[in-house]
Chain A
Amino acid sequence: MTRYVLRRLAQAVLVVVGVIVLTFVVARIVPGAPAGSWAGPKASQAELDAVREELGLDAPLPEQIAAYFAGVVQGDWGIAVHTRRPVLEDLMDRAPASIELVVVAMLFALTLGIPLGLLSARWNRKLPDSVVRFGSVFAVSMPSFWLALILQLLFFQKLRWFPVAGQYDPNLDYTHPLMQYTHMPIVDALITGNWWVLRSALWHIVLPAIVVAAYPFGVITRMVRASVLDTLGEDHVRMVRALGFSERSVFAKWALKPAWNPLIAVLALVFAYSLANSFLVESIFNWPGLGAYAAASVAALDTPAIVGVTLFIAIVYVIGNLVVDIAQAALDPRIDLS
């Protein structure tokens, strides 16, 4: 098992290195971008040159990459231009908000997706199946930015049910200030017993989480359905039927357990995917997470920040894939890892 893990880890590292090189090269395509953004639009040529030198932009590309890489490994991810702070610090600041959002979104997606997927498999080819399948395609085809706006319109504008900006009511910072441990308001509020912030935070997370949950919901529903149907067609299910087990028992006990495997595997990937695609949602809901940071960096052509975010997300992705591989191998007694 360890050998397998190590091998996958080595592959992962290789990929991450490749990603660094790629984003670095891309980000440098635009001439003058990093220096220009840093020095400001009115900088003179001399100032630009000075900034260039300071930021190390006049060195040949491979050297820059090497220097960056050395820095990354030591924790120095450069200074973000649009915030003037170390990129890594920015990322660490923003990450918890995104994680919180995606975790809640995944909970929504799972709570709804698994039962519906099972329903769909149970009533295969009948009406409930068609309805659920349509629903999941619908969810997967949803433009997130549009859904975000529509939900805002409906539930905030018209119905006044849910708030639409930020993680919780900013006034609470004065009346019931929150002690920050994890920088995730919901978690922090829970552990410090700050019920006012908790309530506000929960209320604030609902709409953005629904939007982020749409795609995972569609994927999960389909995966559960497919996995269960696949399993139902296998030889061992025929055998337990032949042994006299009822259809309900076949479904609930014998088909379900092997069916979980592919699903669990996919979860980590879906999580990573949602994390990376939360840009638009975060901007529209003013959610202070990675996505908003990435969008702002792109808008400002902030190279260190762009590279930093891309690197971060690539790492998350790679870890996600790794987790999936290892989980699959661990859960399936058939897979021999030696």
Chain B
Amino acid sequence: MAASATMPRRRVKLTWQNILVYAVVLIITLVMLTPFVWMLSASLKLNRDVFSFPIQWIPAEPRWENYVEIWTKIPLALFIGNTAKITIIVTILQLLTSSFAAYAFAKLRFPFRDTLFLGYIATIAMPWQVYMVPQFLLMRELDLNNTHTALIILQAFTAFGVFLMRQFYQSIPDELCEAARIDGMNEYQIWWKIMLPLSKPALSTLTIFTFVNTWNDFLGPMIYLTKTELKTIQIGLRMFISQYSAEYGLIMAASIVSLVPVLLIFLALQRFFVEGIASTGLKG
């Protein structure tokens, strides 16, 4: 946001209206960055200094030891490993299932296709909190309680992902699929050799959404995972909270660490992400 506010300065006329717009954008940016900066600052403080007022943005004696202690106080590396495993598998599965289903909904003709799609999309409107208990009972019935498998199969399919991919596939001309069909490809080959390589921007967008969502998921792991060795980082962080006290300095330090992969994924895919928004389509 900050970048877009400063970059086109040369071309934009200096009118009151523009100054106002930029001021508002700048304020919003600051407001959004503040909690992050506070987190960074708190991660370098002793527990008792975290909530001192007025806020000391730059600690007088930064406690870098916090970043060492978090690895020994709780099995943080194990939690990160668990989270990474679940997140990576879920993301890959979602990319496959979403693009696969989206191809059928966008490019194949079969009875009740649009009705079926509408029905599937309608499930987005249903909050997870409504059906998480029956879902849990079902998973327990299948003996999947306290396994990563439960979380993985529950998140392997996503109506939102199908919707996103379908919208993108609809911008790919049908002629291309027909040319491929005449060239001798079957539908699976068209999906794999034509649609997937062409949908990098949409796939990147979905990767970012899914990765961030799964990585940051709190409620899911909390419901399904009770054994320490299975926990993900988001519920593992709660181990810094005991009955009478909470290690806020350490929580913030571990939170910063848990943010790094998400940030890296975003930076790595940002190019395609922006490309996806900027590209006007494949025709011409």
A and B bind: no
